[in-house]
Amino acid sequence: MQIGRWNHQAAGAASGHSHSSPHESAPRGERSYSARPSRSSEGRGSYQSSSHSGSYSRRPYSGGDRPSFGARRPAKRGMGSFGETEAEIAKFTNKTVVTTEEPVFVPEHKFADFDINAHLKENILAHGYELPTPIQDKAIPHALLGQDVVGLAETGTGKTAAFLIPLIDKVMKQKGERILIMAPTRELAVQIEKELAGFAKGLGFRGMVAVGGANIAPQISSLRHEPAFVIGTPGRLKDLMERRALDLTGFGTVVLDEADRMLDMGFIDDMRLILAKMRKERHTLFFSATMGKEIEKLIGDFLSSPVIISVKTRDTSKNVEQDVVRVPRGVDKFDVLADLLKGRDFTRVLVFGRTKFGVEKLAKALSRLHIHSESIHGNKTHPARMRALDAFKTGKVSVLVATDVAARGLDIPAVSHVINYDLPSTYEDYVHRIGRTGRASNKGIALTFVQG
């Protein structure tokens, strides 16, 4: 187990106070982030570790208002964060990244083997899909039979296709069938619709997205065409129902995607209200990355004799190297972050903060230092959030600062690092945050800032 450490020796040298060497106080085997005085007359310090190196400035910050959660005073403990004890902090470290060959998963099926519409098969193959992932291999046959399914799988395992493929086939074979898909965030809802459009190309039916932060009028207009798939967030779906633009009495199939996240975000009452308006004989597909007591209760309330499929192997990805950056009292963690982000290896970085206001200020402060950054949080309009996400995906900006709205379900390719600038609320939130890197066969690095 190795724990990163940022030492403020340089800051002490500048002020005339002495500090012990980080190598004297760090437990054996820990990674050391040691700040040392440099020869620069501008008063710059530097840090080095086994895999990262850089420098930070001791000059007063002059880029405008400093981000509110980058203040020099360490964050208070006991504020409901995960990572406030050494036992919890230890869960942020995993230096032994598996590099050995693991047994190759051999699916029981090929996509060509499934009893699905021939045109749909062609679209699947056109997307380069030939062999299903584990969750697809296990869930699709049961969904095709009309059975309720609970799918538990790590992020990035193909859960979206696991429910879209059988439900597209269902729409093709059962005239008038309509599907409701609930997702916790606007970005995930949009992403699902994009995958739907690809799989359903040329099949002659519509899908639409109903999310908050976007103009509701076009959504109401789209609903008048009775799309086969309605994909939305619970809050906006409820709003549309109250406006009598969405009538769910004709919907007999529902997908609850990232159900644990919807529960965490307080959507449970909206979910219950929405499901109560659907047909009583309902086909339900329930997908989640975690299984807790509250999730078990939801399954008991919402599903009928479900088939439970779990392909989870461990809580966090074997491809993610996890480490801690300890920021001692007197050192500004914003400076530490800025210096890290200047490193060559930090090519596409997702930085997580806890508050909308803090995330916005942090992105602006980094951009003033010529670290091109965008932000994504609940106060941004839907178009603004999508523009920020697109800029990050296409490499126009190298840093995306986000609240936990970006932690789940989003397909962001080649994220080199995830940085937990603020501690997550729960360990489950931590797992979902770092799941944005180290996806598929790629390696990733997750760093968590710990103050004090």
Q: Are 129 and 121 in contact (CB under 8 A)?
A: no
**Averaged pLDDT, 307-323:** 76
Q: Which amino acid is at 165?
A: I
For residues 18 and 153, which has the higher predicted lDDT (pLDDT)?
153
Nearest Cα to Cα of residue 450 among 12, 23, 75: 75
pLDDT(31) > 50: no
Q: Which two tokens stand for residue 98?
A: 């598996």
**Averaged pLDDT, 25-49:** 36
pLDDT(297) > 70: yes
pLDDT at 298: 87
Nearest Cα to Cα of residue 202 among 249, 168, 235, 179: 168
pLDDT at 108: 86
Which CA distances in Å does 79 have to 66, 76, 221, 352, 426? 22, 7, 44, 17, 12
pLDDT at 103: 55
Lowest mean pLDDT among 75-79, 275-279, 412-416: 75-79
Question: Does an H or E element contain 451, and which?
Answer: strand 444-451
Residues contacting 125, CB < 8 A, separation 6+: 111, 112
Nearest Cα to Cα of residue 331 among 1, 22, 3: 22
Q: Are 274 and 256 in contact (CB under 8 A)?
A: no
The band of 233, judged by pLDDT with boundaries at 50, 70 and 90, is: very high
pLDDT at 408: 61
Lowest mean pLDDT among 260-274, 313-327, 360-374: 313-327
Q: Which two tokens stand for residue 145?
A: 């039979």
Quote the CA–CA distance of 417 and 406 in Å, as a whole number.
14
Which of 97-101, 128-132, 135-139 shows the highest mean pLDDT?
135-139
pLDDT(449) > 80: yes
Quote the CA–CA distance of 451 and 331 in Å, as a whole number.
9
Pair type for strands 179-182 and 253-256: parallel
Average pLDDT value for the chain? 79
Q: Which two tokens stand for residue 347?
A: 């090519």
pLDDT at 282: 94
Pair type for strands 4-7 and 320-327: parallel
List b or e across 118-157, with b for residues whose CB sees 16 or more CB atoms inside 10 angstroms: eebbebbeeeebeebbbbbbbbbbbbbeebbbbbbbbbbb
User: What is the CATH number that goes with domain 111-310?
Assistant: 3.40.50.300
The sign of the torsion formed by the CA atoms of 48, 49, 54, 57 equals: negative
Q: Are 298 and 259 in contact (CB under 8 A)?
A: yes
Question: Which pLDDT tens digit goes with each residue over 140-185?
Answer: 999 999 999 999 876 678 899 999 999 999 999 998 999 999 999 8
The band of 428, judged by pLDDT with boundaries at 50, 70 and 90, is: confident
pLDDT(18) > 90: no
Question: Which pLDDT tens digit goes with each residue over 68-98?
Answer: 443 333 333 334 678 778 878 887 887 544 4
pLDDT at 451: 84
* Dihedral, 67, 70, 71, 76 alpha carbons, nearest 10: 120
What are the start and end residues of each CATH 3.40.50.300 domain in the chain?
Answer: 70-98+318-451, 111-310
Which of 111-120, 378-387, 433-442 shows the highest mean pLDDT?
111-120
**Averaged pLDDT, 237-256:** 96
Secondary structure of residue 349 in the 3-state scheme: strand
Alpha helices per DSSP H over 259-332: 259-264, 268-276, 293-302
For residues 442 and 199, which has the higher predicted lDDT (pLDDT)?
199
Tell me the whole-structure pTM to 2 decimals: 0.63
Task: Extract the runs of DSSP E, i.e. beta strands, from 123-247.
Answer: 149-152, 179-182, 207-210, 229-232
CATH H-level superfamily of 70-98+318-451 = P-loop containing nucleotide triphosphate hydrolases (3.40.50.300)
For residues 376 and 74, which has the higher predicted lDDT (pLDDT)?
376
Please provide residue 82's backbone torsions phi and psi, each rounded to the nearest 5 degrees.
-90, 135
pLDDT at 149: 96
Question: Which pLDDT tens digit goes with each residue over 173-227?
Answer: 998 999 999 999 888 899 999 999 999 999 999 899 999 988 999 999 999 999 9
Report the 10 Å Cβ neighbour count for 449: 24
pLDDT at 22: 33
What is the separation of C-alpha 39 from the centre of its chain, rounded to a whole number of angstroms? 42
Question: Does an H or E element contain 159, and which?
Answer: helix 159-173
